[in-house]
Amino acid sequence: MRTVATMMMSKAKANQLAIPRINGVKRLKLPTASQIGRVMVCLASWLLTRFESAANALMLAGTEAHAELFQAIEHGKEASFDTTGIFAWLAADGGSKPEGELALAYDSQTDTARVLGKNIDRAYEKHGADQSREFCMALDAISVRVGSSEGLARTGRVLDLKTGRSDGDVWQLKLNALAAARAFDLDSVRACFWYSATGQIQEWEWGAMDLAGFAQELEDVRRNLVAAYGHTPAPPAVTGEHCGWCRAFANCHAQVGLARSLVAESTAEGVSVEPAAFAALTPAEAGVAWDRLVSAEALLKHIRAGLEGYAQQQPLQLADGRVVRPIEARRESINGKIAYEVLAAKASEVGAAFTLGEVWEACPPSCSKDSLKRVLGKDGAAQALELIGEAGGIEVKTYQQVKAVKP
Ligand code: SF4
């Protein structure tokens, strides 16, 4: 069978160009696929001084899951998460044997891409990339479908594994798809985020026109980055949900501006935050206060998202000695149907701690610890929870939460 590796050789010699130096100092490196989404929205996020993040539990878990997927694809080893769906998706429509961790470099000036190697641990330049002109990436998994005779479409599938809770940024997939299309002469590409924790998938299909559009947008961004690099002031920072995980957060003038405007809004003349002053507000003043409240809420949301992203990379120090950092939290949810069945059966027994009527009140259509405690009392709820747990009616989910904790 013709594999991706055998097809990549024809592209291996492209783009041996000189590295430009900008302002005679450090050269600009273009963002990689995992960073491109934020840069497409906020150019400043790539041009302001960024800090390196220390590896945290979330990142390590992600690295491990990617290594497991690579081992599963390349060596048939079992992963700690279900890969059946991943292999089925890659093999659909007569896909080639999939390949994992394939590093590519895409040049938006020539609209070409080449393969750098496999499993190179993001060391793109060591493997020949020129990141001042090439966008680099590692495809978690790829398979291709090449028509057996002239005229048949050449298509590919690229998959990006996501281990976190947040949604992936579609620009990452767009860049992956475009590079795969150019490296392997594909007419169209189907691309997906695969969420290992839930087995859920988000997928897109892009044809030649879409891919050409992505190429143009990437070239525009490259040009804008080169033009702005090393110049002051930096381009305007554009705040939003993408601020989470932004490595320039600590140096971002917009974030500082947001915090300042928040303070200014809440103390503005005519809008006091004292509860006693509310009685003296006219309807018009209250309307102004409402508008400011709404804008302050939006500001707070952005500030929180940015600070949480900052804390994901390095703990924030609080004045009382605590630190704000990601912790693993657990959430238990009760399956209302199982709870009702198991408790109704128990209630029918002689000497049961609760009646069928109470079970009916506490369970359907949903059931929670609170509803059980409210209706059955503390002891009854404890017994009920034990029974529901034994019947497999309690699902425990773990997730990351950013919180202030003791160091
Ligand atoms: S924190 Fe947000 S607004 Fe500031 S540079 Fe980063 S992405 Fe842009």
Q: Which residues line ligand 1 (CB under 6 A)?
A: 38, 42, 44-45, 48, 237-239, 242-243, 246, 248-249, 252, 254-255, 306
The residue nearest atom 7 of ligand 1, judged by CA position, is 243
Contacts of 396 (CB under 8 A, 6+ apart): 330, 331, 332
Q: Which of 242, 253, 256, 303 to mutate to test the pocket of ligand 1 (most atoms within 8 A of CB)?
A: 242
Four-residue CA torsion sign, 98, 101, 103, 104 = positive
Say if residue 233 is preceded by a cis peptide, omega within 30 of 0: yes
Q: What is the pLDDT of residues 390-402, one digit of tens each?
A: 999 888 877 778 8
Contact 311, 326 (CB under 8 A): yes
Give the model confidence (pLDDT) of 135-147 as tens digits.
999 999 999 987 6
In the block, residue with structure tokens 């399956």:
335
| Contact by Cβ (8 Å): 228, 235 | yes
| Alpha carbon of 313 to ligand 1 centroid (Å) | 15
- The ligand 1 atom at the shortest distance from the C-alpha of residue 253 is 4
Kindly give the residue spans of alpha helices, DSSP state H, lying in 76-207. Answer: 84-91, 170-184
- Eight-state DSSP code of residue 164: S
Distance 325 CA to ligand 1 centre (A): 20
Using CA positions, which residue lies closest to atom 2 of ligand 1? Answer: 243
60-105 pLDDT, tens digit each: 778 888 999 999 999 999 998 889 999 999 999 888 889 999 999 9
Shortest-distance atom of ligand 1 to CA 38: 7
AA letter at 283: P
Listed in order, strand segments (DSSP E) in 96-236 are 99-107, 112-118, 134-145, 155-162, 188-195, 200-206
| Residue from 35, 239, 245, 256 whose mutation best tests the ligand 1 pocket (most atoms within 8 A of CB) | 239
Tallying the residues shown for the chain, one arrives at 407
**Integer Cα distance of 49 and 42 in angstroms:** 14
> What's the rounded Cα separation, in Å, for the pair 151 and 207?
15
Mean pLDDT per 10-residue interval, the chain, length 407 residues: 42 33 62 94 87 64 89 92 92 89 97 96 94 96 76 86 80 98 95 88 95 98 91 82 78 73 54 55 76 73 78 85 88 85 85 82 78 87 90 83 89
Residue-wise over 29-67: b if at least 16 C-beta within 10 A, else e?
A: bbbbbbbbbbbbbbbbbbbbeeeeeeebeeeebbeebbe
The owner of tokens 């079970």 is: 359
CA of 44 to the centre of ligand 1 (A): 7
According to CATH, what is the number of the domain 4-228? 3.90.320
pTM over cut 0.85: no
Give the residue among 50, 82, 51, 43 at the shortest CA–CA distance from 65. Answer: 82
DSSP 25: S
